[in-house]
Structure 1
Amino acid sequence: MTQVIRSSDCENSPRNQRVEQIALALLGAGDLPDSVLSEGAVWDRNGGAISGRAAIQTLRATLPRCEEIRVDQVVSHGKAGTASGTLRRPGQRDRLFCHVIRFTSTAASEIAQIVSFEHAGGAHGR
């Protein structure tokens, strides 16, 4: 099971909580229902972009699990939100992550695009 550590700054709005839940699901800690992704959603990430709800869900199911995810910042405004922090996978050093999530509307009910970054050398140096 993945341990999730949240900054208390991230719990200040329902929209931020939604963005955080989506980011965690992209890292394998939680569910991402099909209804949250638009049919033509795009996920730009290390290794290239993939298009379509089914392709995103298939890729998500194959990603290696995280031992720990530390969510340091979640911000949302209008049709977009970001979540960032550090993650650790078994046998690896910490990595920085950031997910930028663009919704189809300001209602933030359906995702149009996700841009994800990971970078070696996490801030906590484990």
Structure 2
Amino acid sequence: MTRIARSPDCGNSPKNQTTEAIALALMGVGALDDGLLAEGASWDRFGAGITGRDAIQAARAEAPDHDWIEISEVVSHGKAGSVSGRLQRAGEAPRIFCHVIRFTSASARQIAQIVSFDHAG
């Protein structure tokens, strides 16, 4: 089971909590409801982009296991949110990560685009 650590100020709003849950689901921790993804949603990650609900869910299902994930910052405003921190995958050195999530509207009910990266740090 992945150990999750959070900065104490990360979950200070419902939209921040939603944004954090989406980022964790992208890393294989928790579920991502199909209804949260717009039909034409895109995910730009690790040098490759994918488009569509089914493709995103398939890629998410292949997420590697993590020993731990440390969430340093969750920010949401208007139609966007971001989650950043550090992680460690089994057998690898710690890395930093960031997920930028753009919603179709400020209500944050559907995801239009995700941009993710991680690298040694």
Counterpart mapping for 1:43-82 below 5 A: 43-82=43-82
**Aligned residue number for residue 30 of structure 1:** 30
The 2-side partners of 1:15 and 1:63 are apart by 24
- For residues 67-106 of structure 1, the aligned pairs below 5 Å read 67-106=67-106
**Runs (5+) with no aligned partner, structure 1:** 122-126
Shift of 1:47: 2.9
Letter paired with 2:67:
E
Asked if 1:10 corresponds to 2:10, the answer is yes
CA RMSD, Structure 1 to Structure 2 (Å): 0.6
Higher strand residue share? 2
TM-superposed CA distance for 1:106, in Å, is 0.7
Q: Distance in 1 between matches of 2:53 and 2:11?
A: 28
Identity of aligned residues (%): 60
Deviation by residue 1:62-108 (Cα, 9 ceiling, x = unmatched): 12111100000000000000000001110001110000000001110
TM-score by length of 2: 0.98
Give SS of 1:10's match: coil
AA matched with 1:15: K
AA aligned opposite 2:33: P
Moved over 4 A (4+): none
Q: How many correspondences in the alignment?
A: 121
**Number of the residue aligned with 1:124:** none
What letter matches 1:98 in structure 2?
Answer: C
Q: Which runs of 5+ in 2 are unaligned?
A: none
Report what 2:113 is aligned to. 113
Question: Can you list the C-alpha shifts for 1:21-59, whole angstroms capped at 9, x where unaligned?
Answer: 000000111110101100100000113000000000001
TM-score (norm 1): 0.94
Query: What is the one-letter code of the residue matched to 1:20?
Result: E
